[in-house]
Amino acid sequence: MPLAESVFDYEARLAACARGEHAALRDLYVQEGPRLLGVAKRLVRDTALAEDIVHEAFIKIWNGAAGFDPARGSARGWMFSVTRHLALNQLRKQSRETPFSEEHESAAPDELADIHSARIHRCLEQLEPQRRSCILHAYVDGYSHAQISARLDTPLGTVKAWIKRSLNALRECMG
Amino acid sequence: MTGESAQERDELAGEYVLGTLSFEQRSEVQRRLANDPELRAAVDAWERRLLELTDLAEPQQPSAQLWPRIERSLERLTVKKPLTSWWNLLPLWRGLSAAGLAATLILGTMLLTQTAPKPSYLVVLVAPQDKAPGWVIQASNAREIQLIPLGVVEVPADKALEFWTKADGWSGPVSLGLVKPGQALSVPLDKLPPLQPNQLFELTLEGANGSPIGKPTGPIQAIGRAVKVL
């Protein structure tokens, strides 16, 4: 079972990876593997492909451990960023706008209850529901502008403007 | 891109992290991140702001095969590619793998059967990531070495490959000059102590005129240690 994030020392494990200790990478895998796989699976919507991405992510984490700079953010956050961007690269490369599939799960706004950080929760709540949906569909489901436009039945230009303004509002709200 | 306002840069960073950029735009951002600290700072800030949204994806138990697969890849990857201050990383130097050593021995044997006189030292320089051999160094005496390319590598027009060496006990690496891709080179070691077993050699990517500070600053393209031939 993963430990509480506050107890588990991600930075120390990364430093041990940089020293070549396989066991440290395994600790990170036990701690975050299921969550990273969940994030990747939600984005690419295919379990085998999601496992390929998590595999690649852990190799990247291993290789990047020595160059990890804590001044740029938390080690845990970096692991999620590495995984998400691999999944997003894959998604954008393979789709280059494949037709929208109705089978996609949808991040409904009521999922906000699952977000444990009060800060982003409060800031998202201040957005109009449709604009909030744009942000969640993009970040969590990996939808492109065009896919969000189809999903929300809203013109593409409107979706792009909503996203731009929502990001500005989030930055203002969160600092 | 020049003339980009802070606002535009922040919007680009936000949409990059959000995931809405096209494949081409993503590639462009990823290319810029390597040497654009302002864009990097903007992206880092967005990564921090939005990280909690990853809680919305339901965790999923990986298959039993996934960790063994990762571990097998690790074993093939014993040399890491560090991003900063790589010269001081003990694991990097330690880490020249069995695979690298095997390549050394195989290629060394091949060279031995083909060349005369018999070299006293051999080094195979391999790429840090995939261990692909890129160059061989041979020395038939301890005062001069030959650098022999095994293929042609691509070097960007504004960059050059710089050749370095460091033996155990030296305070830092010493430049042996610039190397043209695909060209064999003889380097006298007259200003350096004689070759030692285990002495490190490597090629790094530097600016067109070489490193401005006399120490390697760019990424390692190939690296290896000297093996004394019995």
B95 CB-contact burial (10 Å; exposed 0-12 / middle 13-18 / buried 19+): middle
> Is pLDDT above 60 for B30?
yes
Helix (H, G, I), strand (E, B), or coil: what is residue B227?
strand
Tell me how far apart the alpha carbons of residues B143 and B162 are, in angstroms, rounded to a whole number: 20
Domain membership of residue B67 (yes or no) is no
Same-domain check for residues B26 and B132: no
Number of domains present in the structure of chain A: 2
> H or E stretch including B146?
strand B144-149
Looking up tokens 């107890």, which residue turns up?
A: A7
Nearest to A37 by CA among A23, A22, A17, A57: A57
Domain membership of residue B79 (yes or no) is no
Q: What pLDDT sits at residue B106?
A: 67
Looking up tokens 């070299």, which residue turns up?
A: B119
Output the six-digit token pair for B190.
Answer: 């007259």
User: Looking at the complex, does the CB of residue B55 fall below 8 Å from at least one CB of chain A?
Assistant: yes
Residue A144, domain extent: 101-175
B 150-209 residues with CB < 8 A to A:
none
Same-domain check for residues B48 and B93: no
Residue B45, domain extent: 6-56
Same-domain check for residues B45 and B107: no
Distances (CA, A) of A91 to A49, A95, A167: 10, 6, 22
Helix (H, G, I), strand (E, B), or coil: what is residue B149?
strand
Same-domain check for residues B29 and B109: no
pLDDT tier, A102 (very low <50, low <70, confident <90, very high otherwise): very low
Same-domain check for residues A89 and A133: no
Mean per-residue pLDDT over chain A, rounded:
88
Tell me how far apart the alpha carbons of residues A105 and B168 are, in angstroms, rounded to a whole number: 58
Per-residue pLDDT of B184-227, as tens digits, reads 888 888 778 888 888 889 998 888 888 888 888 888 888 888 88
Which of A37, A39, A138 comes nearest B20 by C-beta? A138
Per-residue pLDDT of A38-96, as tens digits, reads 999 999 999 999 999 999 999 999 999 998 988 899 999 999 999 999 999 999 987 76
Domain membership of residue B68 (yes or no) is no
Number of domains present in the structure of chain B: 2
Domain membership of residue B146 (yes or no) is yes
Same-domain check for residues B19 and B93: no
Tell me how far apart the alpha carbons of residues A169 and B13 are, in angstroms, rounded to a whole number: 15
Same-domain check for residues A30 and A92: yes
- Cβ contact (<8 Å) for A67 and B22? no
Same-domain check for residues B49 and B90: no
Same-domain check for residues A87 and A116: no
Same-domain check for residues B52 and B156: no
User: Looking at the complex, does the CB of residue B59 fall below 8 Å from at least one CB of chain A?
Assistant: yes
**Residue A27 belongs to domain with CATH number:** 1.10.1740.10
Same-domain check for residues B100 and B175: yes
Nearest to A142 by CA among B191, B54, B110: B54
Strands B227-228 and B185-188 come out as unpaired
> Is pLDDT above 70 for B164?
yes
Strands B144-149 and B133-141 come out as antiparallel
Quote ipTM for the complex: 0.92
Supply angle C-alpha B163, B164, B168, rounded to 5: 155
Q: Among residues A33, A64, A96, which one ends one of the domains?
A: A96
Helix (H, G, I), strand (E, B), or coil: what is residue B120?
coil
Same-domain check for residues A74 and A127: no
Output the six-digit token pair for B66.
Answer: 């996934």
Same-domain check for residues A88 and A166: no
pTM of the predicted model over 0.80: no
Domain membership of residue B223 (yes or no) is yes
- Cβ contact (<8 Å) for B49 and A29? no
> Is pLDDT above 60 for B93?
no
Which contacts of B112-116 are long-range, i.e. CB under 8 A and separated by 24 or more positions? B112/B229
Radius of gyration of chain B (CA): 22
Same-domain check for residues A75 and A126: no
**Residue A168 belongs to domain with CATH number:** 1.10.10.10
Same-domain check for residues A107 and A168: yes
